[in-house]
């Protein structure tokens, strides 16, 4: 029997009133080109209660339809383009350009030596300095990276994992030097080590000491930097390694559950740290499957938090996420086709309710993106936001039979995989026994087989090829960058207070050997003394050892 929910109208009115008070330019109803009137929350005139109970509402448990009641009617997602290359000075120039072009948040890409805790002058860094991201050796580099960028006004995401504590400490100290206290900074640090062991490979330490570092960050930030997201639990790299959509959800949420349990075991209170957990997902090209994936991930996480950990507060159950379009779908052939792929993927992220978004550039299958390509990638988001109309109503695909069935199917398959991880003894055990990596590898192999057989068409690659004789402009990193970076590092090391630095490193080692000590303060002290990333990580290597992955 159809009937109206008597509580619905009042709830909508209250939420709308609060939103319009903050964003008076956003209206409940508005007129489209052509005279059609569109509702903020599209519902049929007569609403079946059973249907509503299943579908739910935006901003309400289990958050299938979004974590905010008005979603993009209140504000657009953060347009956060991922960037970093060469030296800190060069990356700073790119950041300021992106902000001038309308970007609303920063996202930092670090070079490979930085990601695995080596200084630019280390023999292990040879040939890799500044190549796939910006080189950061000491606080001096971080000061240059954020020169003239106000850290009390700009939120920053940093894709860094094993040495996340060190880079976060550098960011905090740069903010201090700008007169911005830690409790004012906003942003996210990826800090997600578990997926590194199965999908990406930029790990340093074994799992248990790595989890300790992560928990130390949770604990320190809950008191000192409460606005900063302390982890971005990443499915992106799991998908890039070849997983299916359901596997991406399953293994990402399984990692998230591990972080929550580890923090609880260390004595942290659930509501003190979980509201600052964030997630990071891939947006691939199957538009409706991706929309369903995002909706399923939100719903499943809310249920898991409520049922496993007895979460009560809404913020503890909300899955908030950043999205990046799928780098592994970009092709070197007919690179302009990548603009179309990225547009579809970005649209899926928006229709799925992302909180922030990075759109890849057309030329990333060839090189780091050129400035012109980066601008086009950003404009893609801006056109979707301002011209497409998809942000004018909340969860516009809700109620679609196909989307709802896909949402259910992804959730069910993901839950079955999470249960298998539990049966094996949890994520760490599945890293050691190869279960998660094996699942991803099997899916990647099947996908590649489908391409090679022609069952799966990749436009311009195995169908619709053309002879291309036009050279695409690519960005190249000058080899002299490495020499310049090494020279600057030597200069910083020569000019710092050597005695104070050595004392800080000694204090860090002592703290690391004490299982109960939080390492954030000794790392902050070392950073303030201009101890380098490599020096700090080498102290921790000496205490924790290094992880060596198994050959399955």
**The last residue of a domain, from among 453, 478, 510:** 453
Q: Looking at the structure, do residues 46 and 192 belong to the same domain, yes or no? A: no
Query: Where a domain ends, among 405, 423, 453?
Result: 453
What pLDDT is stored for residue 39 in this prediction?
Answer: 52
Q: What is the DSSP string of 220-257?
A: HHHHH-TTEE-EEEE-HHHHHTT--HHHHHHHHHHHHH
Residue by residue, DSSP assigns 168-220 as HHHHHHHHHHTT--GGG--EEE----TTIIIII----S-HHHHHHHHHHHHHH
Instruction: Give the range of the structural domain holding residue 35, as residue numbers without chain letter.
Output: 8-55
Q: What is the mean pLDDT of residues 36-54?
A: 59
**Do β-strands 37-39 and 29-31 pair in parallel, antiparallel, or remain unpaired?**
antiparallel
Both 183 and 286 in one domain: the answer is yes
Residue 302 CA to residue 311 CA, distance in Å, equals 9
Assess if residue 523 is contained within a domain: no
Provide the pLDDT for residue 19. 42
Q: CA–CA separation, 283 vs 350, rounded Å?
A: 10
Has residue 539 been placed in a domain? no
Confidence band of 468 (pLDDT split at 50, 70, 90): confident
Q: Name the domain count of the chain.
A: 2
Nearest-angstrom CA–CA distance, 49 and 53? 6
Query: How far, in Å, CA of 225 to CA of 185, rounded?
Result: 7
Q: How far is CA 407 from CA 64, 336, 411, 465, 477, in A?
A: 9, 31, 6, 35, 43
Q: Which of 453, 478, 513 is the last residue of a domain?
A: 453
Identify the pLDDT of residue 45: 56
Q: Give 44: exposed, middle or buried? Use CB within 10 Å, 0-12, 13-18, 19+.
A: exposed
Q: Tens digits of per-residue pLDDT, 299-336? A: 999 999 999 999 999 999 999 999 999 999 999 999 99
Confidence (pLDDT) at 83: 82
Residue 543 counted as domain residue: no
CB 462 within 8 A of CB 454: yes
Q: Is residue 392 part of a domain?
A: yes
Q: What's the pTM value of the predicted model, to 2 decimals?
A: 0.89
User: Using one digit for the tens of pLDDT, what is the confidence trace for 393-449?
Assistant: 899 999 899 999 999 999 999 999 999 999 999 999 999 999 999 999 999 999 999
Q: What are phi and psi of 233, to 5 degrees?
A: -75, 115
Query: Residue 477's pLDDT is what?
Result: 85
pLDDT of residue 346: 98
Distance CA 410, CA 61 (A): 18
Burial class (CB in 10 A: 0-12, 13-18, 19+), 26: middle
What is the pLDDT, as a whole number, of residue 244?
Answer: 98
Q: Give residue-wise pLDDT tens across range 204-248.
A: 999 999 999 999 999 999 999 999 999 999 999 999 999 999 999
In a domain, 72, yes or no: no
552 part of a folded domain:
no
Burial (0-12, 13-18, 19+ Cβ within 10 Å), 454: exposed
Residue 468 lies in a domain: no
| Of residues 244 and 35, more confidently modeled | 244
pLDDT at 173: 98
Is 538 domain-assigned? no
Crossing angle for the helix pair 88-100 and 371-387, nearest 10 degrees? Answer: 30
Same domain, residue pair 44 and 177: no
3-state secondary structure at position 157:
strand
Note whether 40 and 166 are same-domain residues: no
pLDDT attached to residue 33: 43
170 and 49 in a single domain? The answer is no
Residues 168 and 189 sit within 8 Å (Cβ to Cβ): yes
CATH code, domain with 418: 3.20.20.240
Query: What is the rounded average pLDDT of the residues 509-535?
Result: 97
Average pLDDT of the residues in 243-272: 96
DSSP at 459: B
Please say if the pLDDT value at position 38 is more than 80: no
Report residue 478's pLDDT band, with 50, 70 and 90 as the boundaries: confident
Query: Which residues is 78 bridged to in the sheet?
Result: 356
| Interatomic CA distance for residues 301 and 59, integer angstroms | 14
pLDDT grade for 4, boundaries at 50, 70 and 90: very low
Strand partners, 228: 187
Same domain, 50 and 163: no
Rounded to 5°, the CA angle 51-55-56 comes to: 115
Could you give the CA distance from residue 401 to residue 54 in angstroms, rounded to a whole number?
Answer: 13
Closest CA to 231 of 196, 275, 284, 169: 275
Q: How far is CA 436 from the centre of its chain?
A: 20
Question: Residue 1 has what DSSP assignment?
Answer: -
């Amino acid at each position: 029997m159809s009937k109206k929910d008597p509580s619905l109208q009042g709830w909508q009115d209250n939420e709308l009133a609060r939103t319009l008070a903050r964003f008076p330019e956003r209206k409940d109803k508005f007129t489209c080109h052509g005279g059609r009137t569109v509702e903020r929350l599209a519902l049929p005139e007569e609403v079946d209660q059973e249907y509503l109970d299943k579908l739910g509402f935006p901003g309400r448990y289990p958050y299938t339809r979004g974590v905010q009641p008005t979603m993009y009617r209140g504000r657009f997602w953060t347009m956060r383009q991922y960037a970093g290359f060469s030296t800190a000075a060069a990356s700073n120039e790119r950041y300021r350009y992106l902000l001038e072009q309308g970007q609303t948040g920063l996202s930092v890409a670090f070079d490979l030596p930085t990601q695995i805790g080596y200084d630019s002058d280390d023999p292990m860094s040879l040939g890799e300095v500044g190549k796939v991201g910006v080189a950061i050796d000491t606080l001096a580099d971080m000061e240059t990276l954020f020169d003239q960028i106000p850290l009390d006004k700009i939120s920053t995401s940093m894709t860094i994992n094993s040495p996340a504590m060190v880079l976060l400490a550098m960011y905090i100290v740069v903010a201090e030097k700008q007169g911005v206290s830690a409790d004012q900074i906003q942003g996210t640090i990826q800090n997600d080590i578990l997926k590194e062991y199965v999908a990406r490979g930029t790990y340093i330490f074994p799992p248990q000491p790595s989890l300790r570092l992560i928990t130390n960050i949770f604990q320190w930030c809950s008191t000192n930097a409460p606005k900063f997201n302390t982890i971005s639990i990443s499915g992106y790299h799991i998908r890039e390694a070849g997983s299916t959509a359901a596997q991406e959800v399953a293994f990402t949420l399984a990692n998230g559950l591990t972080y929550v349990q580890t923090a609880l075991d260390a004595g942290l209170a659930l509501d003190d740290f979980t509201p600052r957990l964030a997630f990071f997902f891939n947006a691939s090209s199957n538009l409706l499957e991706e929309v369903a994936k995002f909706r399923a991930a939100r719903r499943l996480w809310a249920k898991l938090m409520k049922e496993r950990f007895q979460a009560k507060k809404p913020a503890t159950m909300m899955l908030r996420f950043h999205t990046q379009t799928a780098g592994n779908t970009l092709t070197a052939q007919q690179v302009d086709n990548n603009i179309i792929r990225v547009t579809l993927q970005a649209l899926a992220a928006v229709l799925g309710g992302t909180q922030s978004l990075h759109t890849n550039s057309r030329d990333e299958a060839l090189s780091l993106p050129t400035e012109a390509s980066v601008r086009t990638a950003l404009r893609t988001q801006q056109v979707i936001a301002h011209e497409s109309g998809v942000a004018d109503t909340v969860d516009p695909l809700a109620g679609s039979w196909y989307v709802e069935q896909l949402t259910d199917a992804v959730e069910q398959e993901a839950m079955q995989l999470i249960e298998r991880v539990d049966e094996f003894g949890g994520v760490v055990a599945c890293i050691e026994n190869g279960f998660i990596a094996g699942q991803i590898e099997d899916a990647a192999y099947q996908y590649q087989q489908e391409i090679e057989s022609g069952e799966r068409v990749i436009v311009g690659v195995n169908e619709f090829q053309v002879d291309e004789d036009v050279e695409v402009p690519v960005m190249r990193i000058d080899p002299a960058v490495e020499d310049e970076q090494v020279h600057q590092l030597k200069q910083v090391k020569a000019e710092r207070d050597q005695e104070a630095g050595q004392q800080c490193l000694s204090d860090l080692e002592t703290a690391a050997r004490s299982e109960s000590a939080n390492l954030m303060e000794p790392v902050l002290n070392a950073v303030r003394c201009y101890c380098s990333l490599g020096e700090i990580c080498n102290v921790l290597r000496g205490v924790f050892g290094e992880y060596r992955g198994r050959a399955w």
